[in-house]
Structure 1
Amino acid sequence: MTFLIFLLACGAAASTGILFKPGQWYDSLVKPDFTPPNWLFPVAWSIIYLLLAWAGYRLTLIPGSQVVLALWAAQIALNTLWTPVFFGAHHIFAGMVILALLWLVVAAMVVMAMQLDVITGLILFPYLVWLCVAAALNFSILRNNR
């Protein structure tokens, strides 16, 4: 049941991608050569959301994980916010600010999770890697589309 709650939270975050699609505006932006192909985004995010739900569930089983769980809640809120700001409102700079905060929260969450349980930390690590790609992409779009 607890896993389902985390999965539902991830599903809510993922639903913003359905509501606020990249569309013509995003297609018209100047993007860097390292931009992943469009098909990779839903694949990567589906995997990340499943890993996030699993990590959240695992954290509930670990004594002393309250701060990491608070970071989990903060990151899912920031994650949910980015899509409507960037794709919905077309605010590239605000999206970059949200993404920078998200990266910091997730980095702290990964480090703290690793201290509590190495497996949970490793489960979260791909998310941090993907956020590095997303931040580099967002920053490049910001720089090239003033």
Structure 2
Amino acid sequence: MDLTLFPLFLATCAVPAAAGVLFKPGDWYRDLDKPAWTPPNRLFPLIWAVLYTLMSLAAARVAIYPDNDLALGLWSLQITINTLWSAVFFGLHRMLGGVVVIALLWVAVLATTVAFWAHDILAAVMMVPYLAWGTFALALNVSVWLRNRDRDSATS
């Protein structure tokens, strides 16, 4: 692994992290009907700090291998999709749109994980917590949308 690449990938993760800061949950989210298994808001920054660190380490590991274009292209795609979710869900209050974005994100993270596996098994393993979190987040997003369809800006 080239440790000079890790800060570059981590800095890229600052973009979706900034979107999370710009588009905060706020009163709208607080007032939604959410399932009992919704994590407390204070856990989200901690979870994302760990996930951004792991996905950046994984990308830095894969970056040293030849023919890594597809793997790093998929990493770039997933981080781009990741950036959209906060704006769609918290910014626009489009819960169904959030479901679509996070479903696309899940597919992109899965594809990235598989592509990383072809180069570096440890890098792929580092992506598994992100894939697990994405699975949980997708289920949570779907549940919140189903419970609050009448409050989705796309349908009101």
TM over 0.5: yes
Counterpart secondary structure, 1:72: helix
Name the counterpart of 2:60. 57
User: CA-atom RMSD, angstroms?
Assistant: 0.9
Shift of 1:116: 1.7
The number of residue pairs the alignment matches comes to 146
| 1:43 aligns to 2:46 (yes or no) | yes
Q: Distance in 2 between matches of 1:60 and 1:67?
A: 11
Shift of 1:2: 2.1
Name the counterpart of 1:81. 84
Shift of 1:70: 0.5
Shift of 1:48: 0.4
Q: Distance in 1 between matches of 2:118 and 2:20?
A: 32
TM-score (ref. length: structure 1)? 0.96
| 1:10 aligns to 2:17 (yes or no) | no
TM-score (ref. length: structure 2)? 0.90
Runs ≥4 residues deviating over 2 A = none
Q: Matched residues, percent identical?
A: 44
Name the counterpart of 1:126. 129
Residue in structure 2 matching 1:145, options 130, 145, 148: 148
Unaligned 5+ residue runs, structure 1? Answer: none
| 1:98 aligns to 2:91 (yes or no) | no
Unaligned 5+ residue runs, structure 2? Answer: 150-156
Task: Give 1 or 2: higher helix fraction.
Answer: 1
Alignment deviations for residues 55-87 of structure 1 (CA, whole Å, 9 cap, x no partner): 111111122221010000000000001101100
| 1:28 aligns to 2:19 (yes or no) | no
